[in-house]
């Protein structure tokens, strides 16, 4: 048993109940979800609730409501985070209700979705909240029964004193517990005593989802709400010149057409304030369809903008970003990338003497890999509700990092931050895109200008062509083999538009005596940002495809080749800044080798292996592929993951399955090209997404069993799948894949 310092604020029952009253909302039921099994049980709600701390309240009948702090976009935190609290509370999971906590930074800390850091960052605080509540209940029972707290035990929502035979449900002690002082320290359970963590619990929102309850930002409604859409420039590099809104305004149901700037002149952007189009036209009307129709009647003149610089203050401190003028095209991007790739880059890391090693090499292998811009294409297009009323605002929007956009909204509206109430509906996907909240600011600005509650809706076309895209990348790898086929030197040079994807200190750095990593970048006015496992989502595929080719040239089994390098990195690491644990990395490779029966002949299956470490978690895949009628068909993916303790195993498996399928889709088809600044795909008839018939026939996920504090699951299984696809395709076709997408719009190979 371990003790942990508590850091809960004083209770504030009145404020919380006011915020979660839900009186503002119409037809909106996403607040409460439950794990209870039957309708009757759901109806047996308590007469009175007692707030024990900001994360939970207990009803007089023993039902517990847990406030889940972070926004949900499909990563299962509305289930898995309450599990952490319920575990330490020692609660019967079937008697737990889950509500979304309000956005409230001082009570709930950093409420965000991203970087696969949710469970990792909440692992201790949420267990502490549960343990501290349990302690207060025990103390209440001790006082009531006049016994020592040390002799009281708990079990599934009950307090028990064996000596006197006293037993009480949590509901009976909740009113007294709610008045007691929070202890300075509380004890956490031993891992071996877990009853909820580590056992698969169903998604608490499953019933609401399958019955079509309103849950998403897109579903949010308020009485008197108007609908708005924006018209943005047709090309990156352009801005507003003039608007003729007469025809649009004459359309039925249209209230207004306005132009506005999202951010004040001189506004210093934070890292998530990225927006391509600072000045926009908005059209506002009575219904989505009427606005959509009138939007087509807008006549707007656009003009090219001049080059400018802006200062961004993000997680990596302040940096100046240059936004060039011009209308960019994929063809010219490719030419520029080839030029930069051929020149020396900025050396980020160098070990040993790579120049000498390459001179002495018996064999040199050099290959170049590239990948295009990608659009996020969340199934729920961008949208935001805003009601700005004088110096107050209510916002309800699917947003990954609400805390990062509140100050921007306050600045744009000219109102105090504390006057902004932020509602966090479920997100219909995010994948990084919904970290960038310009659309939320836009909704707020529209509401302020028209003085009415408004829902801004991006059409699919608006969403796809006003992206904060995954950048285009390129990486060149060069390896030296000696006469014994040992890898003696590795040179990686990577770059992109507009950022480099390089991670200089990741594997195989640390495993090779002579190593050099360089990078370059090309400025662009096409906006880019985080996309599921940023940068890793390219580097993993490039690196793992290259290592596969080197292993083949060296005449070694691809898994054993990697394990040999990891052995070196573990026993005698080169350099001191290596960003991985070689033993855990080897662990997932060994597990996937075992579980996929790698060493057994699998007939006509063509197998590709790939492994990667990012976002604090290790993942390895073995992918089996066949070619049927010229099409690659993924038969099976065997996956091994080390993310420490797995909180909700079946949900973690679901995450891995999704990441694998998503990765295969992007590896085969994902691509957004540009011509004269215009994105060449606008909707799903052009942007090919993976579909049912193209998904893997089977996915088999395994976890390394250990007692390490949990790390992320949303991103880590995604990057390595690109390498597994490339390596299996080589086995199937004899042709190496260097350029994503591997299929693109082609229906068959060749």
Partner 1 sequence: MSEIQLHINGKDHQINVDPNTPILWVLRDHLNMSGTKYGCGIAQCGACTIHLDGVAIRSCSLPVSSVQGKSITTIEGLSKNGDHPVQQAWIEHDVPQCGYCQAGQIMSAAALLEENAHPTDTDIDVAMNGNICRCGTYTRIKAAIKTAAKIA
Residues at the contact surface with partner 1, assessed by CB under 8 A = 26-27, 39, 73-76, 200, 202-203, 205-207, 209-216, 218-219, 221, 227, 252, 287-290, 292, 377-381, 426-431, 457, 459-460, 650-651, 654-655, 657-662, 665, 683-685, 689-693, 695-699
Contact 378, 530 (CB under 8 A): no
Looking at the Cβ atoms of 224 and 390, the one nearer to partner 1 is 224
Question: Three-state SS for 331?
Answer: helix
Beta-ladder partners of 32:
99
Quote the least distance from Cβ 534 to partner 1, whole Å. 17
Looking at the Cβ atoms of 547 and 701, the one nearer to partner 1 is 701
Contact 672, 375 (CB under 8 A): yes
The terminus-to-terminus CA distance of the chain in angstroms comes to 61
Looking at the Cβ atoms of 205 and 328, the one nearer to partner 1 is 205
Query: What's the CA angle centered on 42, arms 204 and 196, to 5 degrees?
Result: 40
And the tokens for 160? 């028990």
Quote the least distance from Cβ 84 to partner 1, whole Å. 19
Quote the least distance from Cβ 501 to partner 1, whole Å. 23
Q: Residue 105 and residue 70: Cα distance in Å, rounded? A: 11
Looking at the Cβ atoms of 306 and 685, the one nearer to partner 1 is 685
Quote the least distance from Cβ 695 to partner 1, whole Å. 4
**Tokens 């793992």 sit on residue:** 544
Cβ neighbours for 179, distance < 8 A, ≥ 6 positions apart = none
Looking at the Cβ atoms of 59 and 712, the one nearer to partner 1 is 712
Cβ neighbours for 18, distance < 8 A, ≥ 6 positions apart = none
Beta-ladder partners of 153:
160
Looking at the Cβ atoms of 273 and 657, the one nearer to partner 1 is 657
Looking at the Cβ atoms of 51 and 219, the one nearer to partner 1 is 219
| Cis before 498 (ω within 30) | yes
Quote the least distance from Cβ 259 to partner 1, whole Å. 25
| Beta pairing, strands 64-68 & 96-100 | parallel
Q: Residue 370 and residue 250: Cα distance in Å, rounded? A: 49
Looking at the Cβ atoms of 40 and 418, the one nearer to partner 1 is 40
And the tokens for 318? 């302040």
Contact 428, 378 (CB under 8 A): yes
Quote the least distance from Cβ 202 to partner 1, whole Å. 5
Looking at the Cβ atoms of 8 and 292, the one nearer to partner 1 is 292
Quote the least distance from Cβ 720 to partner 1, whole Å. 15
Quote the least distance from Cβ 642 to partner 1, whole Å. 21
Cβ neighbours for 603, distance < 8 A, ≥ 6 positions apart = none
- How many H helices and E strands in the chain? 19, 33
φ, ψ dihedrals at 457, nearest 5°: -120, 125
Contact 545, 723 (CB under 8 A): yes
Quote the least distance from Cβ 290 to partner 1, whole Å. 7
């Amino acid at each position: 048993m371990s003790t942990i310092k508590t850091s809960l604020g004083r209770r504030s029952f009145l404020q919380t109940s006011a915020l979660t009253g839900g009186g503002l909302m119409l037809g909106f039921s996403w607040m409460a979800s439950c794990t209870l099994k039957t309708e009757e049980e759901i109806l047996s709600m308590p007469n009175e609730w007692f707030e024990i701390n900001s994360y939970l309240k207990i009803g007089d009948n023993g039902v517990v409501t847990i406030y889940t702090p972070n926004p949900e976009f499909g990563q299962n935190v509305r289930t898995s985070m309450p599990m952490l609290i319920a575990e330490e509370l020692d609660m019967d999971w079937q008697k737990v209700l889950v509500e979304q906590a309000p956005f409230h930074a001082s009570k709930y800390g950093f409420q965000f979705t991203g970087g696969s850091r949710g469970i990792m960052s909440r692992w201790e605080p949420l267990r502490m909240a549960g343990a501290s509540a349990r302690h207060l209940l025990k103390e209440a029972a001790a006082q009531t029964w006049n016994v020592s707290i040390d002799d009281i035990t708990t079990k599934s929502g009950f307090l028990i004193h064996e000596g006197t035979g006293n037993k009480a449900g949590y509901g009976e002690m909740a009113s007294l517990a709610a008045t007691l002082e929070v202890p300075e320290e509380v004890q956490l359970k031993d891992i071996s005593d877990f009853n909820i963590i580590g056992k698969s619990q169903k998604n608490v929102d499953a019933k609401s989802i399958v019955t079509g309850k309103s849950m998403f930002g897109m579903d949010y409604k308020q009485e008197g709400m108007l609908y708005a859409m924006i018209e943005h420039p047709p090309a990156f590099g352009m801005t507003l010149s003039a608007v003729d809104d007469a025809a649009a305004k004459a359309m039925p149901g249209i209230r207004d057409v306005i132009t506005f700037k999202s951010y004040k002149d001189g506004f210093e952007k934070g890292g998530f304030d990225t927006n391509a189009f600072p000045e926009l036209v908005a059209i506002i009307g009575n219904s989505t369809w009427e606005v959509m129709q009138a939007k087509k009647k807008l006549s707007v003149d656009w003009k090219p903008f001049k080059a400018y610089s802006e200062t961004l203050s993000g997680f990596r401190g302040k940096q100046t970003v240059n936004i060039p003028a011009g209308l960019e095209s994929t063809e010219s991007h490719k030419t520029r990338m080839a030029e930069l790739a051929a020149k020396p880059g900025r050396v980020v890391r160098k070990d040993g003497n790579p120049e000498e090693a390459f001179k002495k090499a018996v064999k040199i292998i050099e290959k170049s890999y590239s990948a295009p811009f990608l659009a996020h294409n969340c199934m729920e297009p961008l949208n935001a509700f805003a009601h700005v009323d004088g110096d107050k605002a209510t916002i309800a929007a699917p947003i990954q990092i609400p805390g990062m956009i509140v100050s921007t909204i306050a600045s744009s509206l000219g109102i105090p931050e504390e006057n902004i109430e932020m509602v966090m509906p479920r997100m219909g996907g995010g994948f990084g895109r919904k970290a960038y909240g310009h659309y939320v600011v836009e909704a707020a600005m529209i509401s302020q200008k028209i003085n009415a509650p408004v829902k801004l809706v991006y059409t699919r076309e608006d969403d796809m062509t006003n992206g904060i895209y995954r950048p285009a990348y390129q990486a060149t790898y060069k390896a030296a083999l000696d006469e014994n086929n040992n890898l003696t030197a590795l040179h990686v040079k990577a770059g992109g538009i507009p950022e480099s994807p390089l991670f200089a200190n990741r594997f195989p750095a640390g495993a090779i005596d002579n190593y050099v990593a360089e990078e370059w970048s090309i400025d662009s006015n096409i906006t880019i940002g985080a996309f599921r496992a940023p940068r890793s989502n390219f580097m993993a595929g490039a690196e793992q495809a290259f290592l596969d080719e080197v292993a083949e040239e060296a005449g070694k089994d691809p898994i054993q080749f990697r394990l040999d390098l990891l052995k070196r990195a573990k026993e005698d690491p080169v350099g001191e800044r290596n960003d991985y644990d070689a033993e855990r990395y080897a662990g997932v490779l060994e597990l996937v080798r075992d579980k996929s029966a790698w060493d057994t002949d699998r007939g006509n299956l063509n197998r590709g292996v790939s492994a990667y470490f990012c976002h604090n978690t290790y993942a390895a895949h073995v992918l089996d592929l066949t070619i049927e009628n010229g099409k690659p068909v993924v038969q099976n993916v065997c996956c091994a993951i080390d993310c420490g303790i797995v909180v909700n195993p079946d949900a973690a498996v679901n995450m891995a399955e999704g990441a694998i399928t998503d990765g295969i889709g992007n590896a085969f088809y994902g691509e957004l090209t540009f011509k004269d600044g215009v994105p060449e795909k606008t909707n799903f008839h052009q942007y090919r997404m993976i579909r049912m018939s193209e998904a893997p026939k089977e996915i088999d996920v395994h976890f390394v069993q250990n007692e390490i504090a949990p790390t992320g699951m949303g991103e880590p299984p995604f990057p390595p799948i690109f390498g597994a696809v490339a390596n299996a395709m080589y086995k199937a076709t004899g042709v190496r894949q260097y350029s994503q997408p591997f299929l693109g719009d082609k229906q068959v190979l060749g």
